[in-house]
A and B are shown apart, each in its own frame.
Chain A
Amino acid sequence: MLISRRGVLAASAGLAALGLLPIAVRAQDAAAAPAMTADDMIAEFTGGAAVADGDGVTLTAPEIAENGNTVPISVDAPGASEILVLALENPTPGVARFTFGPLAASQAAATRIRLAKTQDVVAIAKLADGSFVRTASNVKVTIGGCGG
């Protein structure tokens, strides 16, 4: 069962790559401009427009990172044209800015990010109507405990 799943996965990975074609990803945009704070980046992304909390954008992240150097996250915002992802407490908070073209089959993306310490990861989506919605997940980066 596992073997066949991997076979299917390998095939679907190819499809996923095709699916990515309409999307321009500019990961670590902010790294080039370390002076920018998270607030600056949000202001630039929204052009100063109001950002609502709640429905419209979903951010999936682990509650506690198994490895802070590679934390799997995914964002999903049906109908969005862009999603900005920030790690607020990283030395450079910029993580990724996903731009979805009109032919994108879905407005979702998954990647792995590096987190310097426990912090909020924030996703802000620009929806089809031009409005902005925001969601956040607290991801804990721990040195480990002693399980029961």
Chain B
Amino acid sequence: MTSRREFLQAGLATSAILAGLGLSNWSRAMAQQSLTQDQLLQFDDFGNLTLIHVTDSHAHLRPVWFREPDTNIGVGEAAGRVPHVVGETFQTMFGIAPGSPQAYALTYPDFESLARSYGRMGGFDRIATVVKAIRAARPDSILLDGGDTWHGSYTSLKTMGEDMVLVQNLLGVEAMSSHWEFTFGTTRVRELIEKCNFPFLGANIYDVEWDEPAFEPYRIIQKGDLAVGVIGQAFPYLPIANPKWMFPEYSFGIREERMQEVVDDLRGQNVDLVVCLSHNGFDVDHKMAGRVKGIDVILSGHTHDAVPEPVLVGETIIIASGSHGKFVSRVDLDVQGGRMAGFRHKLIPIFSDVIQPDPEMAALIDDIRAPFTADLEAVIGQTDHLLYRRGNFNGTWDDLICRAILEERDAEIALSPGVRWGASVLPGDITREDIHSVTSMTYGQCYRTEMTGETLKTVMEDVADNIFNPDPYYQQGGDMVRVGGLAYAIDPTAPMGSRITDLRLIADDSAIDPSRSYVVGGWASINEGTDGPQIWDVVEDHIRTTGGARQDAPVSNITVKGL
């Protein structure tokens, strides 16, 4: 008798072969200049159920440029393992030809020139086309949204997330989990949930006072003759990484024992399949998959990783579907006798020039944007180089933001949060919408304060441990705090408190003095009552004052060692 594990491994191999075929098809297609929607959607139907996963769009309604990271260091067991593989190493690992559409979609090399060849990616009107096509082929499909959907754009900030709920409802989302959603505050989250035609799930969201579950933990979705248990898992460290005063009623956490309890509850109800719609981040999901028993599929969000093949941990598969609308995952499953007997998967790249926009969704997006068109399209200045953020350390967008803080706020040192959201900008115009893509938030005040050298080092060590702690359960996702006016060296493998060395002020190349006070400017403080102008206004003023973004003297100087 064939064991379930063998079935799974056979499934993975099948999937890998398909991915390989898909790739060679693409390469040929490009050689023939004939990449088509049919090729992108091509999929040999498999099994009796389909999961469709979108996550971390950060409210990017329209197609974007988005450069994948050049640095994504994995520590401990995660070193050298997906998603901690970038660039040429990533291409080699998955057999991707340099310069191919997959290389453009999934890796950073030659981004700028490939972007000009292949165009923008994403856009909810294109996503709607893909979702409709999958549903037409597979009536028993479930569309699941991993969260970080309501936040991240000019229109989402102006409508306080409502634009995204309209889009989710039209798209036919069947459940979502959450993270930045909570930065609209408890009252607004409650209001928006009322407008959702689908459940907002969070098994790990607890009431602070009662220490009891505060949200619906799961929903059993019936498709054909299958009962599918979908568990929501919110970002575990919301009250630490984001301002908890905005949602003081709630406590989060990984709560592994709670996840096991919920899985056991669903298994006790004889569901056919257990799916975890997670906003844990990939490494946390990888560890959780090995410790919580009984989850068939983890749809992983938060860390924005686009992984071309499912990762198998025990008998659980982990699917990671990227960010900013660049990808939609289709997972066909063969579910028999209350077990997943096999799967087939495709990470569908949303090439916006190849996939036709869905007219209904395109019309909704136009309606959403109409009142704000002049603001969105206002050209603030030009950039002479590619602006991007993604990566463990400063990107060029971060350098520009930090320079804006240093100059507009007359600071010696700038700090900018290591978030992973924000689209790239090719050389040319920078619009107000572009600036909001990398700054939009409900706590964007740009503060100016004094900090001793010792405090600065403590802050940086603390953030570094949130990223490079060898135990994923102690990681918060995100990247290293971005700095301006500062040089430092970092050893990600060192213990907490000794990763950061050689802190220097770039202005006069002096060592940071632990006892001296420095003027520090920054934004996205989690403290209530932070004063200052909004960061997007600071950046806009800076671009207007200086005439644009120019590639000049570095605003930061970071040396990575110990790897």
Contact = CB atoms under 8 A, between A and B. Distances in A.
B421 interface: yes
Contact of B459 (A110, A138, A143, A148): A143
A40 interface: no
Contact of A148 (B239, B473, B477): B477
Nearest to A58: B257
A60 to B, nearest CB: 6
Contacts of A60: 257
Interface string A70-97: 0010000000000000000000000000
A146 B401 CA distance: 16
A6 to B, nearest CB: 7
Contacts of B419: 146-148
A147 B242 contact: yes
A144 B420 contact: no
A6 B210 contact: yes
Given A145-B241, A146-B417, A63 B210 contact: no
Majority secondary structure, B binding face: loop
A144 B481 contact: no
Interface stretch (B7-15, B163-171, B247-255, B550-558): B247-255
A146 B237 CA distance: 10
A110 B210 CA distance: 12
Contacts of B180: 147
Majority secondary structure, A binding face: loop
B398 to A, nearest CB: 11
Nearest to A139: B474
Contact of B237 (A64, A67, A138, A143): A64
Nearest to A118: B496
Given A147-B477, A148-B419, A148-B477, A66 B210 contact: no
B210 A147 contact: no
Given A5-B212, A64-B237, A72-B211, A146 B251 contact: no
Nearest to B239: A66
B184 interface: no
B237 A147 contact: yes
A64 B212 contact: no
Contact of B462 (A2, A9, A142): A142
A19 interface: no
A9 B211 CA distance: 10
Contacts of B478: 145-148
Given A2-B214, A66-B239, A146 B253 contact: no
Contact of A144 (B214, B240, B303): B240
B179 A145 contact: no
B474 A64 contact: yes
A63 B254 CA distance: 8
Interface string A126-148: 00000000000010101111111
Nearest first, the 3 A-B pairs at minimum CB distance are A147-B241, A146-B417, A148-B478
Interface of B: 179-180, 210-214, 216, 235, 237-242, 244, 251-254, 257, 281, 302-304, 417-421, 458-459, 462-463, 465-467, 471, 473-474, 476-479, 481, 496, 524, 526
20 contacts: A9-B212, A63-B254, A64-B240, A66-B239, A66-B253, A142-B466, A143-B458, A144-B240, A145-B418, A145-B476, A145-B478, A146-B478, A146-B481, A146-B524, A147-B476, A148-B303, A148-B304, A148-B418, A148-B420, A148-B421
Given A64-B253, A142-B466, 14 more contacts: A63-B471, A63-B473, A66-B253, A142-B240, A144-B526, A145-B240, A145-B241, A145-B418, A145-B467, A145-B476, A146-B463, A146-B478, A146-B524, A148-B302
